[in-house]
Structure formats: structure tokens, C-alpha cells
Amino acid sequence: MIILVSLSALMLKTEIALLLCLVFMWIWLILFGCVKKALQCTAAYGALYGLLFLMKNTDMLGNLPLLTVYIRRLMLPVMAAAPVINAPTGCLIAALNKMKIPRAATLSLTVMFRFMPTLSAEYHNIRESQKIRGIGASFFTVLRHPIQTAECILVPMLIRTSKTADELSASVQVRGMKLGGAYSSYRKSVIDVRDMVLMVSGTMTIVLIYLTDVYVRRG
């Protein structure tokens, strides 16, 4: 449901629909204990909206207004991912198993979430090492040599990631991870009231988005 709503957020046409999605993400974040994140995102959303309002009267800023709209859209999937990233991996696998999602999809999704903190740690390590060699040490040098800076981040990042992916894959295969065969879960996955609330509000959000869309099209 979360995935559905956040995907639809990327295709939204109207401001009201975006706001509806935001309210839904709000419910999701608060239900699963990320109140701080919810507040942060709302503040950022408000600030960007305000910025758009200010920029309406000048036409010198080029694509900037469009950018604020896109950032607000991209915020929704980020909000959707927040509780999942912090959840124990076992819970995620158990829940996906219960939904009868194919094993291959479950594993690739889990690996994706596992890689997020790794990627940010790798990025910080690389940026730090670059400063010593005078690559992108200051804002000015980044502006002067944008391609060199990007290349020097991407190359080591790709090398590290492919190495990690290889070693990780070896490490889980010798521990019996495979696509076929029977497996069990240590974590229990149960559907509780929170999930019910989410499903109802999710369905309502999608219906409402559809209705506003039809309404707008009719003029």
C-alpha cells in the first residue's frame, strides 16, 4: 500500500493530490513511531511551498520553481522508506513472506534496504579522502571541476559496492540462502490495528486522488 501511494505520488498532477499523499504519509510515520521525521518533513514541505509562493512574482529564476515541486514529490517516497530502513531486516523478510511475495523479490528488496546505510557511509569515506588530494575540497573547486569531482566519487563507489556485493553474496550463500526450498522466520509478522488503519486510509487516499483528478479534467 505504501509503495502504491508513493509511486502514485510521482505521477501526481494537482497540488491537492500531493497534499492528500502527505497526510497519508503522516499517518504512516506517526503510527510506526517516527513522529520527529513526520514533523521534519512537514516543515520542509511547508518551506518549499512558501518558497514557490515567493517565486511566483519573479520570472528570472528559470527552473527553480519546478525544482521545488519535484523535491516535494520526491519527499514522499523518502517518508515512506523511513520506518522500513530502521526496522530489523528479519521483520521485513517475515512481513514480505506473509504477503506471499516471491522469494527473489523479497531478497532483492531486503538487500536494497541493507545497502542504503552502507552507501552513505562509503560516500562519506570517499569525500573525506578526496579532500587530502585537493579534489572537491571546497565549494569553489567543486564548481570549477564538477566532472572530475563526480568521477572521483563514482569510480571508488562502484568498485567498493561491487566488491561488497560479491562478498555479501558469498557470505549468505554459504549460510544456505537460496531461492528454492523451505525456510522459516524467527520474527513473527502479525497484522494489527495499525495496518488496518493504514489500509483504509491508503485506499481512501487513492480514491480521493482519482476523484480530484477527474474533477480537474472536467474543468
Partner 1 sequence: MLIELNELSFRYAGSSEKSLKDISLTINEGELTLLTGESGCGKTTLTRILNGLCPQFYNGEFSGSYLIDGRNGFDMSLDEIGTYIGNVFQDPRSQFFASNVTDEIVLAMENRNYALNLMERRLQEFGEMLGISELFDKDLLQLSSGEKQKVAVAAACVIKPKLLVLDEPSANLDTDAAAQLGTLLKTLKKQGVTIIISEHRLEYLSELIDRMVVMKNGKISGIYTRHEALALSDEEMYGLGLRLFYPQAKVCIKSIAGEKSLQMEQIVCKRGQKTILSNISFDALKGKITAITGRNGAGKTTLCKIAAGLMRENSGTVSINGEKLKRRKRLQRCFFVGQDPDYQLYAPTVMEEVLLNIKKTPENIKRAEQLLEQLDLSAFSGRHPASLSGGQKQRVLLAAAIMWERPVLILDEPTSGLDGRHMREMSGLLRSIADSGTCILVITHDIEFINNCADMIYRFP
d(CA 16, CA 212): 8
Interface with partner 1, residue 58, by CB under 8 A = no
d(CA 79, CA 43): 13
Q: Rounded to the nearest whole angstrom, what is the least distance from the CB of residue 93 to partner 1 in the complex?
A: 8
Identify the DSSP state of 57: T
Interface with partner 1, residue 133, by CB under 8 A = yes
Q: Which of 10, 178, 191, 197 binds partner 1 (CB under 8 A)?
A: 178
* Closer to partner 1 by Cβ: residue 132 or 214: 132
* Closer to partner 1 by Cβ: residue 25 or 135: 135
| Total interface residues for partner 1 by CB under 8 A | 51
Interface with partner 1, residue 142, by CB under 8 A = no
Q: Which of 27, 71, 106, 187 binds partner 1 (CB under 8 A)?
A: 187
Interface with partner 1, residue 138, by CB under 8 A = yes
Interface with partner 1, residue 19, by CB under 8 A = no
CA 10, chain centre distance (Å): 12
d(CA 148, CA 125): 17
Interface with partner 1, residue 177, by CB under 8 A = yes
- Neighbouring CB atoms inside 10 A of 181's CB total 8
The residues, any chain, with a CB within 8 Å of residue 139's CB and separated by 6 or more, are: none
State the Rg of the chain over Cα: 21
Q: Which of residues 74-93 bind partner 1 (CB under 8 A)?
A: 88-90, 93
The dihedral of CA 195, 199, 201, 205: what is its sign? positive
d(CA 64, CA 140): 21
Which residues of the chain form contacts with partner 1 (CB under 8 A)?
88-90, 93, 110-111, 113-114, 117-118, 121-122, 125-126, 128-135, 137-138, 151-152, 155-156, 159-160, 163-164, 167-178, 181-187
